[in-house]
Amino acid sequence: MAKITFDGIEVEVEDGTSILNAARKIGGKIVPPAMCYYKPLAGSGGKCRVCLVKVTQGSAKDPRPMPKLVASCVTPVQDGMVVENTLSPQVLEARKGVVEMLLINHPLDCPVCDQAGECDLQNLSYEHGTSGTRYEEERRTFDKVDIGPLIQLHMTRCILCYRCVYTADQITDKRVHGILGRGDAAEIGTYIENVIDNDFSGNVIDVCPVGALTDKTFRFKNRVWFTKPVDAHRDCPKCSGKVVLWNRGSDVLRVTARKNEYGEVVEFICNECRFDKKEVSDWIIDGPRHIARASVISANHYELPVVNPQIIADLPESTTKELNLLPRPF
Amino acid sequence: MGLKILTEHINVPGIDTLETYRKLGGYRSVEKALKTMTPDEVVEEVKKSGLRGRGGAGFPTGLKWSFLAKPEGKPRYLVCNADESEPGTFKDRVLMEKIPHALIEGMITSSYALGARTSYIYIRGELMFVLRILEKAIAECYAAGLLGENILGSGYSLDLHVHPGGGAYICGEETALLESLEGKRGNPRNKPPFPAVWGLYGCPTVVNNVESIATVPWIVNNTGEEYAKIGVGRSTGTKLISAGGHINNPGVYEIELGLPVEEFLFSDEYCGGIWKGRKFKAIVAGGSSVPILPGELFLKTAEGTPRLMTYESLSEGGFVSGTMLGSGGFIVMDDTTCIVRNTWNFSRFYHHESCGQCSPCREGTGWMEKILHRLEHGHGHMHDIDLLVNVSKQIEGNTICPLGDAAAWPVASAVRHFRDEFEWHVKHPEKATAAGAVYSGAEDLAFA
Amino acid sequence: MESPTTQNEVQFSEAAMAEIRRYISHYPAERKKSAILPVLHIAQAEFGGWVSPQVQEKVAEILDIQPIEVFEVASFYTMFNLKPVGKHVLEVCRTGPCMLRGADGLIEHLENRLGCHVGKTSPDGLFTLKTVECLAACGMGPMLQIREKYYENLDPQKMDQLLNDLSKA
């Protein structure tokens, strides 16, 4: 076991745990954001650099600080390590810089993007970015690539987190897509026209932190904040069958896997559950889905508590009243 | 003439053959190490020599070797980094091309020291003609019992292979090199774990530069103590310097560390001064990644002390007024050189070579190149200059591997030392874009 | 897909296969993928200076890996041409040290002489003009590479001579 101090809070974790997961054990606002790291996917992390933290003391044995900021998702803890995240202006400044980098070539087409409302990049830029842009150059574009009837690829939105590649490697039996090209010309693709199609291919949609990979069967059907998430399950021979249904009235508009508070899929689901079971009668409803992450979904009217009621100016009075009765998480 | 450890026989006809190389004393270190020394004794000599990695970072080679993990039941690897791609640097290529056996001898002796049974030379794919030279030399060694089973009857066995890259500067970064050697895209790994613990195929691995490895035989033959007597302070031994740009005698020179830079740059024995009788404007002294320095700050420190060719002397003044010895790639610029154009060119290089894995480097290198392209072509604004520096700071230190730093430093240093030239480009776009026009000093700015 | 071959026709010569087997033998048996770069080099030399998707699929088959793994690698490294090229591929270094000694002028000269821009093939199909980054010949610039050979200390006159020789060859 190793004891570390993260933002002034002591926590004990198993040896080999990453700094990020140690912070998650503490939980709350001090947890660094992560755009590429994804706990269920081995090998993920280290790429997006938004989880950079400052190690002010390397370990009890060797108390020297680390010379550079480190990616908390891939740096293992050492006993006696002292780490600063929200307490370090250097970290916050660097994070702001990384967010800017992630956005300079992003199309900012949120108004027509199906991911809007549940987009990690939206949340990240809201919390850590700046309102303006200093980027005067032309934004990067890519040729359109069709990867089949179920999944929509929008390469311009991609932040190259590699999660979908790891998913295809680790969850499906054959990977046909990957990262092609190099540098800022690198892109997700199949190279030769190829359909990403196997029983678990749809999971790349759930792991994508942005709107680069979205559900074609849900495309332009609705905004996620108008849909009502409910937990449901069915007896599925291929997967756990535990899903979230995104309903509008009595229509099932979308089916996704269940995710934890960090947006990580708890159990990957099969394509049949995701794409073919779009009737309420296909499912046994477990109850309303609690979306813990900061997003407009958690701030909608279907479900409480709202973490940041003050950011929504015109909540109905009834909701405000109910909210005030609830214990605040922070 | 200074002492030549690596290049003494470089012009001897037939030195690329085993016969000639051996006649001139080659492979003595293999005999000595394998027959009279334990592996740890070889490591100890290299430690004592003070030899520092010649690939650019200057990390003590012996120390790196001593970090190598030695778990039971796992092979260990020595991989030679012959992916020489740093602009301004071409010393390893010349050494391998002319005296392939110098590297192979070093590989055998070093592999023995590290307990490697299979070693690789990762050479950049463009140097296929050098790969063929190395493979021919390796075949000679197998035939002579210097490689393969039971080398020279010592009981030690080693296989040595050459592996071509495919065209990617990033593979000079040791973990990208290992990924590439495993047949993958050259994406650098997150560290820790370091290669000494988790290297090639997940086994403990040492990655060393060509020149470092080729130096080991001399250290084994003459002892580390003798090697440490060459040079100055912590800059021991000799160093190959690749000299290019606007000088009279471009080429690769072996110098004793501690040589005055002025002598190296201006004496006929070495660079022979600035070409075409022009003035010395600026220099990038350690390969394109290190900060650029104006000529006067290169010859003498800010305090007025003449600089020496050592790691310490060149970095005196830090990044404010100093630079780095790096890989020893001298890029000399005369007074007709446009610094903005040169900075744009370097920036384009790093943009082109970024692997694209981590966001600050992937996005930032392209951004810097675009800003510099506009400045150079007369479409820049004054605020672009500070933006440029700011973007470089957002990359520096925040990336997976040092390519981010390497892309940031040339830009930040160019603005630091030649800001007036950047401003001139903004104020006089018509002049900046005119063919052959070059900013020539404060009087040009006076037009503003 | 314009390709001189179809998938079934991609067949390495026996000499090339022997070379491929030699490379594969350099790596642990379960690490065949390590040979991907040498095999791609051999493939490019074997099939007209570029690696078509079909050739890349063949490489995947030889190395027992998925085609996408080859596509990912071939598109990362700049030496592999993913589109058909002319008979001779001129790879001119454009990086700093070569630029300082006249690479820009050499590239301009080549564009005029060949009648095509960088990245294109001359109308007669003989020459593809590529610019590349530093080739470790900084003291001998400007320079270019054609297949495995370096041509150094070039100027427009020497360049013309070289092009004439190549045109006749």
B348: closest chain A residue by CA: A183
What is the distance in angstroms between the Cα of B338 and the nearest Cα belonging to chain C?
A: 10
pLDDT along chain B (448 residues), means of 10: 91 97 97 97 98 94 96 96 97 97 98 98 98 98 98 98 98 98 98 96 98 98 97 96 97 97 97 96 96 97 96 95 96 95 97 97 98 95 97 97 96 97 93 72 48
Q: Do C66 and C27 share a structural domain? A: yes
Q: In chain A, which residues have their Cβ closer than 8 Å to the Cβ of B353?
A: 183
Q: What are the beta bridge partners of residue A189?
A: A178
Look at residue A314 and tell me whether its pLDDT is greater than 80: no
Residue A60 burial class via C-beta count within 10 angstroms: exposed 0-12, middle 13-18, buried 19 and up: middle
pLDDT at A132: 87
By C-alpha distance, which of A108, A109, A117 is closest to A296?
Answer: A117
Q: Which of C1, C72, C78 sits opposite A178 (nearest CB)?
A: C72
Same domain, C66 and C137: no
In a domain, C81, yes or no: no
**Which residues, at least 6 apart from A210, have a Cβ–Cβ distance to it below 8 Å?**
A106, A115, A119, A120, A121, A157, A158, A159
C-beta of residue A85 within 8 angstroms of C-beta of residue A71:
no
Determine, yes or no, domain membership for B176. Answer: yes
- Both C11 and C66 in one domain: the answer is yes
Residue type present at position A225: W
- Classify residue A226 as left (phi > 0), alpha (psi -120 to 50) or beta: alpha
Q: Would an 8 Å CB–CB cutoff place C65 in contact with chain A? A: no
**Residue in C53, C68, C78 closest to A178 by CB:** C68
Chains in contact with chain A (at least 3 beta-carbon pairs closer than 8 A) = B, C
Cβ-based contacts under 8 A for chains A and B: 91
**Burial class (CB within 10 angstroms; exposed 0-12, middle 13-18, buried 19+) of C21:** exposed
Of the candidates A317, A254, A315, which has an alpha carbon nearest to the alpha carbon of residue A289?
A254
Contact A98 B360 (CB under 8 A): yes
CATH number of the domain encompassing residue B58 = 3.40.50.11540
Q: Is residue C37 part of a domain?
A: yes
- Give the domain-ending residue among B334, B359, B394: B334
User: What does DSSP say about strands A242-248 and A228-233: parallel, antiparallel, or unpaired?
Assistant: antiparallel
Among B229, B252, B281, give the residue marking a domain's end: B229
Residue A310 pLDDT: 58
Chains near C with 3+ CB pairs less than 8 A apart are A, B
Residues 207-246 of chain B with CB under 8 A from chain A are none
Place of tokens 């449901």: A232
CB atoms within 10 A of CB C146: 14
Indicate whether C50 and C108 sit together in one domain: no
List the CATH number of the domain containing B350: 1.20.1440.230
Strand stretches in B197-279, DSSP E: 205-209, 231-232, 235-236, 238-245, 251-256
C157/C105 same-domain check: yes
Interface test with C, best of B83, B93, B96, B126 (most C CBs within 10 A): B126
Q: Judge if B320 and B348 occupy the same domain.
A: no
Chain A, nearest residue to B398 by Cα: A69
* CA-only gyration radius of chain B, Å: 23
Identify the weakest region by mean pLDDT among A36-40, A140-144, A157-161, B138-142. A140-144
Could you tell me if residue B104 is inside a domain?
yes
B186 to chain C, any CB pair closer than 8 A? The answer is: yes
Helix, strand or coil, per DSSP, at residue B306: strand
Residues of A in contact with C78 (CB under 8 A): 182
Segment A123-135 mean pLDDT: 90
Instruction: With respect to residue B9, please indicate whether it lies within any of the assigned structural domains.
Output: no
Task: Tell me whether residue B447 is in a domain.
Answer: no
Give the A-side interface with C, CB within 8 Å.
174-182, 190-192
How many residues appear in chain B? Answer: 448
Which of C104-138 are b and which e, b meaning 16 or more Cβ less than 10 Å from the residue's Cβ?
eebbebbeeebebebeebbeeeebbbbbbbbbbbb
Rounded Cα–Cα distance for residues A188 and A174 (Å): 16
Is residue B224 in some structural domain?
yes
State the CB neighbour count (10 A cutoff) for residue A5.
16
Distance separating alpha carbons of residues B242 and B88, to the nearest angstrom: 7
Torsion angle in degrees (nearest 10) through CA of A71, A76, A81, A87: 30
Over residues A53-90, the pLDDT tens digits come to: 999 999 999 999 999 999 999 999 999 999 999 999 99
Q: Does C80 map to a domain? A: no
Q: Which residue has the tokens 């610019």?
A: C131
Interface test with C, best of A164, A173, A180 (most C CBs within 10 A): A180
Helix locations, chain A, DSSP H? 19-26, 89-104, 120-128, 163-170, 203-207, 271, 317-325
Domain end (from C74, C105, C126): C74
Shared domain for C118 and C150, answered yes or no, is yes
- Orientation angle between helical segments B100-114 and B91-98, nearest 10 degrees: 100
Q: What is the pLDDT along chain C (169 residues), one digit of tens a residue?
A: 444 444 458 999 999 999 999 999 999 999 999 999 999 999 999 999 999 999 999 999 999 999 999 999 999 999 999 999 999 999 999 999 999 999 999 999 999 999 999 999 999 999 999 999 999 999 999 999 999 999 999 999 999 999 999 998 7
Q: How many residues does chain C have?
A: 169
One-letter identity of residue A242: K
Interface confidence: ipTM more than 0.90: yes
Whether residues C162 and C93 share a domain: the answer is yes
- Single residue among B334, B362, B384 that ends a domain in this structure: B334
Same domain, yes or no, for B330 and B389?
no
- C65 inside domain: yes
Q: Among the three residues C44, C74, C104, which one is the final residue of a domain in this structure?
A: C74
Q: What is the mean pLDDT of residues A187-198?
A: 86
Would residue C151 count as lying in a domain?
Answer: yes
Write down the pTM of the prediction.
0.94
- Same domain as C141, residue C118: yes
In chain C, residues with a C-beta closer than 8 Å to the C-beta of B209 are none
Domain presence at residue C83: no
Count of structural domains, chain C: 2
**pLDDT > 70? residue A326:** no
Mode of pairing for the β-strands spanning A2-6 and A178-180:
unpaired
Residue A311's pLDDT is 56
Q: Look at residue A299 in the predicted model and tell me its pLDDT.
A: 59
Tell me whether residue B263 is in a domain.
yes
Q: Which residue is closest to C69 within chain A, CA to CA?
A: A178
Within a domain: C159: yes
State the total domains in chain B: 3
Selected residue with higher pLDDT from A153 and B2? A153
Q: For residues A77 and A46, give the distance between their C-alpha atoms in angstroms, rounded to a whole number.
A: 15
Best B359, B362, B365, B377 member to test A by mutation, with max A CBs in 10 Å, is B359
- Residue A169's pLDDT is 95
| Same domain assignment for residues C69 and C97 | no
Domain check: are B259 and B272 in the same one?
A: yes
Per the CB < 8 A criterion, the answer to whether C133 and B87 are in contact is yes
Same domain, B57 and B180: yes
Closest residue, chain A, to C75 (C-alpha): A181
> Are residues B380 and B374 in contact, defined by beta-carbon separation less than 8 angstroms?
yes
Find the domain containing B244 and state its range. 233-334
Both B91 and B201 in one domain: the answer is yes
Q: Are the C-beta atoms of C79 and B126 separated by less than 8 Å?
A: yes
Tell me the C-alpha distance between C100 and B339, whole Å. 11
Q: Which helix (H) or strand (E) holds A230?
A: strand A228-233
Range of the domain at C50: 7-74
Pairing of strands A242-248, B77-82: unpaired
Residue C149 lies in a domain: yes
Q: What is the CATH number of the domain that holds C150?
A: 3.40.30.10
Q: Is C76's CB within 8 Å of A182's CB?
A: yes
CA C37 to chain centre: 12
Which of C78, C138, C148 has the CB atom closest to B90's CB atom? C138
Please provide residue A117's backbone torsions phi and psi, each rounded to the nearest 5 degrees.
100, -25
Specify the DSSP class assigned to residue B302: T
B321 plus B345 within the same structural domain: no
Inter-chain residue contact B355 with A69, CB threshold 8 Å:
no
Same domain, C158 and C132: yes
- The rounded distance, in Å, linking the Cα atoms of C77 and C36 is 11
Tell me, yes or no, whether C69 and C92 share the same domain. no
Whether residue A192 and residue C66 make contact (CB cut-off 8 A), yes or no, is no
Give me the sign of the Cα torsion angle B195, B197, B198, B200.
Answer: positive
Query: CA–CA separation, B356 vs B362, rounded Å?
Result: 4
Tokens found for residue B40: 């740890």
The beta strands (E) that lie in B231-304 are given as: 231-232, 235-236, 238-245, 251-256, 280-284, 293-294
Instruction: Give all domains of chain A, ordered by start, each with its CATH number.
Output: 2-99 (3.10.20.740), 110-132+140-288 (3.30.70.20)
Shared-domain flag, residues B251 and B204: no
| C136 and C65 within one domain | no
CA dihedral sign of residues A174, A176, A180, A186? negative
| Residue B252 and residue B351 in one domain | no
Q: Which of residues 4-43 of C touch B (CB under 8 A)?
A: 26, 28, 31-38, 40-41
Secondary structure (DSSP) of B134-174:
HHHHHHHHHHTTSSBSSGGGSS--BEEEEEE--S-GGGGSH
What is the rounded distance in angstroms from the CA atom of residue B390 to the CA atom of residue C109?
37
Which helix or strand (DSSP H or E) is residue B91 part of?
helix B91-98
Position A312 scores a pLDDT of 56
CATH number at residue C66: 1.10.10
Return d(Cα B391, Cα B363) in angstroms, integer. Answer: 10
Cα(A196)–Cα(C57) distance, integer angstroms = 17
